[in-house]
């Protein structure tokens, strides 16, 4: 029996021509109960949470939060890094004048006689984060300072270029 031909005939369905019912009718109440149970779990709250997860999948958890400020001549990149021992643990590497990679290696601070690290919520490997500036910066002209757990880069904005259109 060709299933498609069976559908094409008026009022005919392939399962009606089966020798025995495909699904025993005595199990219908169990199926109905199961559907109600699934519906109670997979409700609107469930699907809104799934939607929220899909919206957040592109937003990774940032271990070292940043703020980007700007003035007329400068962009200020502030990175919250508590307990930074020295500036060699942090590096800002530029891809171009509007994007950079912040590279942080934050080793655990071992107290006195401690021998074994039992638990740590600090990254135990180097951490990298892409930074995008909306205004081009001079990648060779910047400074940084560290105060109260905040590392601040001061980046000089590039002078705006004047593009003069011309006709041929």
- What is the domain partition of the chain in residue ranges? 3-56, 66-108+121-157
Check pLDDT > 80 for residue 96: yes
Check pLDDT > 90 for residue 44: no
The CATH class given to the 66-108+121-157 domain equals: mainly beta
Q: Both ends of the chain: CA-CA distance in Å?
A: 74
**Which range, 12-26, 34-48, 126-140, is most confident?**
126-140
Q: Is the pTM of this model over 0.75?
A: no
Task: Give the CA distances from residue 51 to residues 40, 42, 54, 55, in Å, rounded to whole numbers and listed in that order.
Answer: 18, 13, 5, 6
Q: How confident is the model at residue 126 (pLDDT cuts 50, 70, 90)?
A: confident
Question: Pairing relation of β-strands 137-147 and 99-104?
Answer: unpaired
3-state secondary structure 150-162: EEEEEEEECCCCC
Backbone CA torsion sign across 64, 77, 130, 87: negative
- Phi and psi angles of residue 109, each rounded to the nearest 5 degrees, phi first: -100, 100
Mean local confidence (pLDDT), 126-131? 87
Check pLDDT > 90 for residue 34: no
Check pLDDT > 80 for residue 11: no
């Amino acid at each position: 029996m060709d299933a498609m031909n069976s559908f094409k005939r008026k009022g005919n369905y392939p399962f009606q021509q089966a020798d025995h019912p495909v699904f025993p009718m005595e199990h219908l109440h169990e199926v109905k109960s199961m559907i109600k149970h699934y519906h109670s779990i997979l409700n609107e709250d469930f699907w809104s949470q799934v939607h929220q997860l899909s919206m957040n999948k592109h937003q990774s958890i940032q271990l070292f939060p940043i703020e980007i400020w700007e003035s007329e001549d400068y962009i200020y990149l502030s990175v919250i890094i508590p307990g930074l021992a020295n500036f060699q643990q942090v590096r800002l590497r530029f891809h171009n004048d509007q994007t950079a990679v912040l590279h942080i290696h934050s080793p655990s601070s071992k107290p006195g006689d401690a021998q074994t690290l039992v638990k740590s919520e600090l990254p135990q490997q180097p951490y990298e984060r892409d930074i995008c500036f909306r205004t081009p910066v001079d990648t060779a002209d910047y400074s940084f300072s560290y105060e109260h757990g905040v590392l601040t880069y001061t980046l000089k904005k590039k002078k705006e270029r004047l593009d003069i259109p011309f006709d041929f």
